Amino acid sequence: MNPIKIGIILNTNDAETCWNCFRFGNTALKRHSVRVFLLGSGVEAEGVKDERFPLLAGAIEKFVSNGGIILACGTCLRQRLKEGSGICSVSTMEGLLSMVEESERLVTFG
Specify the CATH number for the domain of residue 87: 3.40.1260.10
Task: Give the range of the structural domain holding residue 71, as residue numbers without chain letter.
Answer: 5-109
Structure confidence at residue 85 (pLDDT):
78
Structure confidence at residue 1 (pLDDT):
75
Helices and strands, number each (H, E), in the chain:
4, 5
Identify the sign of the CA torsion 67, 64, 16, 11.
negative
Per-residue pLDDT of the chain (110 residues; tens, 9 = 90+): 789 999 999 999 999 999 999 999 999 999 999 999 999 999 999 999 999 999 999 999 999 999 999 999 999 999 999 887 778 899 999 999 999 999 999 999 99
Angle between helices 56-65 and 15-29 (to 10 degrees): 30
Cα–Cα dist 56/16, whole Å:
9
Cα–Cα dist 49/69, whole Å:
22
Number of domains in the chain: 1
Tens digit of each residue's pLDDT (9 = 90 or more) over 76-93: 999 999 887 778 899 999
